[in-house]
Structure 1
Amino acid sequence: MLSIGALANIKHILQKELFLVSGERLLSVVTVVKKKDKKPCYLCVVTTAPPVPVVTLCLVKQSEQRESEYKRKRSWQLDEVKSVDGRNEQFETHEFDIQLEKLYKWYALNLHERQNFMAVLNRQIQKYVRGPRAEFRNVPSAWLSEKSPEKVALGRAAQKTQHTDDEDDEEEEAQEFTALTDKEANELGKLFSECDFAIKDAEQFIEQLSRELHDLDGANIQSVLASEQKVMKMMEHIDNAISEADKFETRLDTYEDILGHVKETMEKIGGKNAMIEIANNNNIKLMKELNKVISQLDLPHSQQQALDEPDLKTVAGRKVAIAAAQCLQQAMNSDIDPALLRLEAVQDQRKRFEKWKQKFSATVSRFMNNLFIHLGNEIGDMPLTNTDLSLPNHSNVHRELTPYTELMHWTKAMDRKTYDGLMKVYTASLSKIYDRDVRNFFNLAKMQVSEKLRSSREDLDMSTSSRKSAVSTIPYGTLGINRDQWGPGVESADRVRFDALLEKVLAELEPIALQEQLFCINFFQMDVISPTTKNTQTTLDMEKAVDMSQSGIAALTASPTAEGVPQKRIDRQINEGSLSGWIASTPCTCLCD
């Protein structure tokens, strides 16, 4: 390790120990360190002796085995310097960069050495480099100009010394010249004032100075000898401080390792906390989804009893049964994610729903079947006492069946086979009533036509008594008689009477047909197209859920003008379904028979 005196005179030490042997002269030096390497090294600007001086930039390091030995590690020519970056034009900046074959980043320990090094390097490059010269960036322009502090000092020293023709000698003398301080100037003036004889007798003055110098050297030696113990003690303290610094650095390294482990542990804990938070969020979402599924698939016990033993005869029991059936339908068509349908609990609940549905559907089918047959038989057994040309109105049948409309709607959605069977039973039961009524209605119309024709023939016989026997045996006209018995007569009057009677017949038939059609549309829900061809409309079946998700049907019912369903198809279904009973019950009877 260099002593304090060695650090202060490093330029002279390097010149003496390293460059003087090779005949070179050190122009400028700066003590620097690298960021990765804390051991100091020296950047030097060196020139060879004239007549052909060669200026180089070299890097010098101290030997690790011998502290007094220095080695030149790298050397560069001036034309190899591409650029010099001072980082900042402020004087307090220690960092600077030099671009050679690569970028070197240095940290100057002494600011004055850094300033002098950059000024000397720039001056040598400007003087000896003939090609492209290095660019100096972020360096104060005063350092590179002719009026830089170094050059001003050179100019003042040159005025006090003798000028020579060799510029290198001028630079060397200027660099070795040190201006007197104020204290030194005062001491020198005091010395000359005490020695007035110095001008007259120089030898006496020299002898006096020699004696004083000898006394000072003796005092200096005594002072050095006296302070040797203090110096040794100070060096011991410095060594102790260095050892303590090493211990402190070792402890800092240990703490850094511990902090590194703590950081890794905290990162792991943070990752685990993130995973725990994700798991908690997933559990919360799963719990919400399960609660939703449970609330949708839950059926109260009272409604279960209503489905097992429904009372459809009383108003209150029928109301409870309809509400339970609608809750069952809503539960079986719950909006559940298809992935959750694979749960065993969901499938078990679906089986229970299916069991309740089948039992309730069977009860409804049996009750409605008996009701249709009973109404058909009760009305069919009633005698016809009306002799007027009018068709009986069966609105009482519709009033009896209207309270069960919602049950038929539920049956259509949940049990299509039972629904189709009840439609057939209703058609068969009501067709007997309409068959009887329509036949009697046409027979009565036929009788009225025959009576009118008979009265017209009697009037004609009274006016022509001579032909009484012929008229009584031969039919007259074409209305109300068979084709093989047609006879001569006035057909225009008969046709007018027949047209009037036909208009009356049609006027009676139209409201009855429209009333029955409207009742069938509302009661059997013919204006709604079923969203599925399956027997039961449900979303709990996995295959059905996939079909419904693909087809985009989520509602239990669809409007009559649903998008994608042609209006003609809806009208055709309504007409075919609602008039099937009416067409089946209409007898093949004509007034002309």
Structure 2
Amino acid sequence: MTAIKHALQRDIFTPNDERLLGIVNVCKAGKKKKNCFLCATVSTERPVQVKVVKVKKSDKGDFYKRQQTWELRDLTEVDAKDASKENPEFDLHFEKVYRWLASSTAEKNSFISCIWKLNQRYLRKKVEFVNVSSQLLEESVPSGESQSVAGGDEDALDDYQELSTREEQDIEGMMEMCEYAISNAEAFAEQLSRELQVLDGANIQSIMASEKQVNILMQLLDEALGEVDTIEGKLSSYEEMLQSVKEQMDQISQSNRLIQISNTNNVKLLDEIQFLVNYMDLSKGHVRALQEGDLTSPKGIEACINASEALLQCMNVALRPGHDKLMAVTQQQLLFAELRDTFARRLTNHLNNVFVHQGHDQSSTLVQHTAEMSLPKHSPLHRDLLRYAKLMEWLKNTHREKYEGLSRTYVDYMSRLYEREIKDFFEVAKIKMAGTTKEAKGKFATLPRKESALKQETESLHGSSGKLTGSTSSLNKLTVQGSNSRRSQSSSLLDMGNMSASDLDVADRTKFDKIFEQVLSELEPLCLAEQDFISKFFKLQQHPTVTPPLASTTQKDIVRLMMNKIFQSIETELNSLIALGDKIDSFNSLYMLVKMSHHVWTAENVDPASYLSTTLGNVLVTVKRNFDKCISGQIRQMEEVKISKKSKVGILLFVTAFEEFAELAETIFRNAERRGDLDKAYVKLIRAVFVNVEKVANESQKTPRDVVMMENFHHIFSTLSRLKISCLDAERREAKHKYTDHLQSYVINSLGQPLEKLNHFFEGVEARVAQGVREEEVSYQLAFNKQELRKVIKEYPGKEVKKGLDNLYKKVDKHLCEEESLLQVVWHSMQDEFIRQYKHFEDLIGRCYPGSGITMDFTIQDMLEYFSSIAQSH
């Protein structure tokens, strides 16, 4: 226990300026045995503090640590359980009772005795000791005993003292004088003992010799002890005085602590009051603005905005615990709620009146501005209403029902206003669009007319969309402007339209394109401005850094829903306008497809999810459907083409029409976003042209099939080469191939007739050679001897050949049409073919009739002159 006591003093109490006076090894009674030490300590500084400290080994077991500390003045009772029997249990009564079990009764009694002595010396409030043996308790504490408690135990802290340097030197000198001091310790100890006895005897003799001096010394000691007792008495009285001073200081300290607590509470109370005053007090000016502020003037609106924000800040202040139980706070909250409701009603009524007035406003109708064909601008209204945007945000945060009610009112009345304006705007557009055709036909004498008459005329023009079949195809109308013969031969094709071709010219279509572009250009800023206003006024903007994605999506949906209700007539009117344009001229679908695609692309770049991009995208589907219907109509009309049996075919009407369609489409679709749609239509049309050219060529009775194929595919090849349509490169090469093949076929078939007998003769010669007859022996064949050859050659003198070629030229001229100008090309090809046959005949004569001297009646130079003179004569 001594070692533990030294360790505790060194490691725990000395660093804290404390002395360990008593220690006991204990564990808690009635629980699992966990040993610890209870230590009685006093401080080394004044005033002395006496404590009971619980010390426990750490979990690792390598050092001790304080676990709990009690002031000895807080100890009210010590219960030893049994005064007559040995019992290691005892209780200490502090703020609660702690029950302990000592490792031995002796340690317990020693610890209780130490507590009693400390209580007697340092505490005025005595501790009650119960069931403690009287032997342990002393009636009073003698001075010596007190010193024992205060100082004796302090000396006992070190039972072992190290040797001084001088003592070490003396011991070493003794050991050096005795040689066996180290090897024979017992002999050395006996020697030391003998010397000690000698010295003791000498000391006794010396003392006895100095008895008188001893008596004097003892007397002096007795006097000193008396002085000590006197001093101790005075010290005890001083200590009692200091003890009373200590109690008074303790009371003063306690009083100061209470004063400090009071001051702290007052500061906190003042802070709470200042918090409530600063954050829950609304100025009289703000109250007046909320109750009767002017909502029509800019200054009044600004005052109302500031007051509403201040009110919202007061209502949303985060109250601290307990504030809601204060009567003043409750009354202030009721006042705020009443002000909020009052101002919300005033604001709602005012904005309702503004919306209703604007919805019934007739001053902005379009009838007064028919000539401009422009939609009224609502920027002044938006500018005026945006002054209330912050108030709308306040209403959204405080009165959601009134906010949503205002939203519905705005949508309801603005939809009526926009419906009137958009309807008038589209009526004027339809009148102008219909006027493009009517002016061409000379049926509109004067403009403007009365609105009712114009409206009736427009309705009669556009009719129902279900009756628009695209039968007025410009593919047929444009081709009517050819030669009279072609117009007469293709009259059945023109009969499929319900308007004359002269009505549809470039200026007419350009005017329609401008009208349609103006319609879209007016609608686009109108929708974008209204959507921007709705987002700002009703606070539906998307904030990516603040608003979660889900909330942003919801706000977009709300804006789109409001726009759909406000502009519910736009899509219907656009579809009606598109139907009218398609009925006037199915080629208008090309213009509409390009314009609509461009505006859809522009709107999607601004906002892909906007109302404008969605609506225009829906209408674009209708326009694309009309475009496809137009292409299908052209193909169907190609298939229904009938040709005259009595006149030559020439360049087919739909071939020329395709050329004009391609020229027009290339002009319209230059740099267009939907070029791919046109390329697909080109492929469909050109394949239909190929198929139907072949069909007409097969059905032709007046004109040879090769001529029909040759002329029309030559025209197609020239058109595709000139326009350089990249998606039709394969068709261009195919057209050239077909033209070349049918030109060669026509030339070969036509040239066989002028020298028919000569051709038959040499065919027989070639047949004999093919059967195995040697070429030089052919002349010995009866049917192919020299006399027969001369007879056949005499039938084709130069004049007859020229006459036959002249007849051939006239026949070719009858077959070919003037528009394509292929006569000279064909005639030159026939010349080449004739020369080739002539050389072939000469070669056969040279090989099969060698040395006969037989020649043709005309030479190659004669042939060239024949062909040249015949071509010049015609």
TM-score normalised by length of structure 1: 0.51
Superposed, 1:281-300 pairs within 5 Å as 281-300=264-283
Asked whether the equivalents of residues 380 and 433 of structure 1 are also in contact (C-alpha less than 8 Å), the reply is no
Helix, strand or coil at the partner of 1:384: helix
Aligned to 1:522: 536
* C-alpha spacing 1:585/1:290, structure 2 compared with 1 (3 Å): farther
* C-alpha spacing 1:441/1:254, structure 2 compared with 1 (3 Å): same
- Residue 524 of structure 1 and its aligned partner are, at CA, apart by 1.6
Aligned to 2:339: 356
* C-alpha spacing 1:327/1:586, structure 2 compared with 1 (3 Å): same
Aligned with 1:480 (options 445, 448, 462):
462
> Does residue 89 of the first structure (1) align with residue 117 of the second (2)?
no
Aligned to 1:565: 549
Distance in 2, matches of 1:413 and 1:314, equals 24
- Residue 296 of structure 1 and its aligned partner are, at CA, apart by 0.9
Helix, strand or coil at the partner of 1:316: helix
Aligned with 1:319 (options 296, 302, 305):
302
> Does residue 373 of the first structure (1) align with residue 379 of the second (2)?
no
- Residue 500 of structure 1 and its aligned partner are, at CA, apart by 4.8
Distance in 2, matches of 1:293 and 1:583, equals 50
Asked whether the equivalents of residues 386 and 537 of structure 2 are also in contact (C-alpha less than 8 Å), the reply is yes
- Residue 241 of structure 1 and its aligned partner are, at CA, apart by 6.2
Distance in 1, matches of 2:564 and 2:396, equals 17
Superposed, 1:258-273 pairs within 5 Å as 258-267=241-250, 269-273=252-256
- Residue 428 of structure 1 and its aligned partner are, at CA, apart by 1.7
* C-alpha spacing 1:447/1:258, structure 2 compared with 1 (3 Å): same
- 1:341-362 superposed Cα distances (whole Å, 9 cap, x missing partner): 4433222211110101111111
Distance in 2, matches of 1:147 and 1:166, equals 11
Distance in 2, matches of 1:381 and 1:167, equals 137
Distance in 2, matches of 1:562 and 1:423, equals 24
Superposed, 1:72-151 pairs within 5 Å as 85-89=160-164, 139-143=167-171, 145-146=173-174
- 1:346-404 superposed Cα distances (whole Å, 9 cap, x missing partner): 22211110101111111111111112212222346757211132222122222332332
RMSD: 4.4
Aligned with 1:503 (options 496, 507, 517):
517
Q: Report sequence identity in percent.
A: 29
Aligned with 1:434 (options 410, 413, 418):
418
Larger relative contact order (CA 8 Å, sep ≥ 6): 1
> Does residue 448 of the first structure (1) align with residue 432 of the second (2)?
yes
* C-alpha spacing 1:140/1:267, structure 2 compared with 1 (3 Å): farther
Distance in 2, matches of 1:485 and 1:575, equals 35
Distance in 1, matches of 2:381 and 2:191, equals 140
Aligned with 1:583 (options 558, 563, 567):
567
Asked whether the equivalents of residues 419 and 569 of structure 2 are also in contact (C-alpha less than 8 Å), the reply is yes
* C-alpha spacing 1:383/1:490, structure 2 compared with 1 (3 Å): closer
Asked whether the equivalents of residues 359 and 416 of structure 2 are also in contact (C-alpha less than 8 Å), the reply is yes
- Residue 329 of structure 1 and its aligned partner are, at CA, apart by 1.6
Asked whether the equivalents of residues 310 and 360 of structure 1 are also in contact (C-alpha less than 8 Å), the reply is no
TM-score normalised by length of structure 2: 0.36
* C-alpha spacing 1:359/1:176, structure 2 compared with 1 (3 Å): same
Consecutive unaligned residues of structure 1, counting only runs of 5 or more, are 1-35, 37-82, 92-138, 152-164, 182-219, 460-474, 529-558
- 1:252-310 superposed Cα distances (whole Å, 9 cap, x missing partner): 22433443454455345435534543443343234223312310111111221222212
Aligned to 1:396: 380
| Aligned amino acid, residue 369 of structure 1 | N
Asked whether the equivalents of residues 419 and 567 of structure 2 are also in contact (C-alpha less than 8 Å), the reply is no
| Aligned amino acid, residue 142 of structure 1 | D
- 1:165-188 superposed Cα distances (whole Å, 9 cap, x missing partner): 99987765565458xx9xxxxxxx
* C-alpha spacing 1:491/1:243, structure 2 compared with 1 (3 Å): same
> Does residue 329 of the first structure (1) align with residue 324 of the second (2)?
no
Aligned to 1:54: none
Distance in 1, matches of 2:314 and 2:341, equals 15
> Does residue 417 of the first structure (1) align with residue 401 of the second (2)?
yes
* C-alpha spacing 1:577/1:266, structure 2 compared with 1 (3 Å): farther
Superposed, 1:173-212 pairs within 5 Å as 173=198, 176=201
| Aligned amino acid, residue 529 of structure 2 | Q
- Residue 438 of structure 1 and its aligned partner are, at CA, apart by 0.6
- Residue 565 of structure 1 and its aligned partner are, at CA, apart by 3.5
Aligned to 1:347: 330
* C-alpha spacing 1:88/1:504, structure 2 compared with 1 (3 Å): same
Distance in 1, matches of 2:159 and 2:235, equals 36
- 1:456-493 superposed Cα distances (whole Å, 9 cap, x missing partner): 4559xxxxxxxxxxxxxxx9xx9734455879534465
* C-alpha spacing 1:88/1:585, structure 2 compared with 1 (3 Å): farther
Bigger mean CA offset, 303-312 vs 428-437: 303-312
- Residue 502 of structure 1 and its aligned partner are, at CA, apart by 2.9
Distance in 1, matches of 2:221 and 2:160, equals 36
* C-alpha spacing 1:318/1:274, structure 2 compared with 1 (3 Å): same
Distance in 2, matches of 1:431 and 1:238, equals 124
- 1:73-126 superposed Cα distances (whole Å, 9 cap, x missing partner): xxxxxxxxxx994435066xxxxxxxxxxxxxxxxxxxxxxxxxxxxxxxxxxx
Helix, strand or coil at the partner of 2:462: coil
Bigger mean CA offset, 568-577 vs 323-332: 568-577
Distance in 2, matches of 1:434 and 1:167, equals 132
Superposed, 1:533-544 pairs within 5 Å as none
Asked whether the equivalents of residues 405 and 523 of structure 1 are also in contact (C-alpha less than 8 Å), the reply is yes
* C-alpha spacing 1:238/1:367, structure 2 compared with 1 (3 Å): same
- Residue 322 of structure 1 and its aligned partner are, at CA, apart by 2.3
Distance in 2, matches of 1:357 and 1:238, equals 98
* C-alpha spacing 1:522/1:354, structure 2 compared with 1 (3 Å): same
> Does residue 405 of the first structure (1) align with residue 389 of the second (2)?
yes
Asked whether the equivalents of residues 434 and 586 of structure 1 are also in contact (C-alpha less than 8 Å), the reply is no
Asked whether the equivalents of residues 286 and 307 of structure 2 are also in contact (C-alpha less than 8 Å), the reply is yes
Distance in 1, matches of 2:385 and 2:547, equals 32
Distance in 2, matches of 1:446 and 1:170, equals 148
* C-alpha spacing 1:338/1:495, structure 2 compared with 1 (3 Å): farther
- Residue 140 of structure 1 and its aligned partner are, at CA, apart by 1.9
- Residue 334 of structure 1 and its aligned partner are, at CA, apart by 2.2
Distance in 1, matches of 2:516 and 2:523, equals 11
- Residue 509 of structure 1 and its aligned partner are, at CA, apart by 0.4
Distance in 2, matches of 1:270 and 1:385, equals 95
Distance in 2, matches of 1:168 and 1:353, equals 105
- Residue 449 of structure 1 and its aligned partner are, at CA, apart by 2.3
Distance in 2, matches of 1:480 and 1:412, equals 46
Consecutive unaligned residues of structure 2, counting only runs of 5 or more, are 1-113, 115-157, 179-189, 444-456, 476-503, 581-874
Bigger mean CA offset, 349-358 vs 381-390: 381-390
Asked whether the equivalents of residues 450 and 479 of structure 1 are also in contact (C-alpha less than 8 Å), the reply is yes
* C-alpha spacing 1:366/1:564, structure 2 compared with 1 (3 Å): closer
* C-alpha spacing 1:268/1:479, structure 2 compared with 1 (3 Å): farther
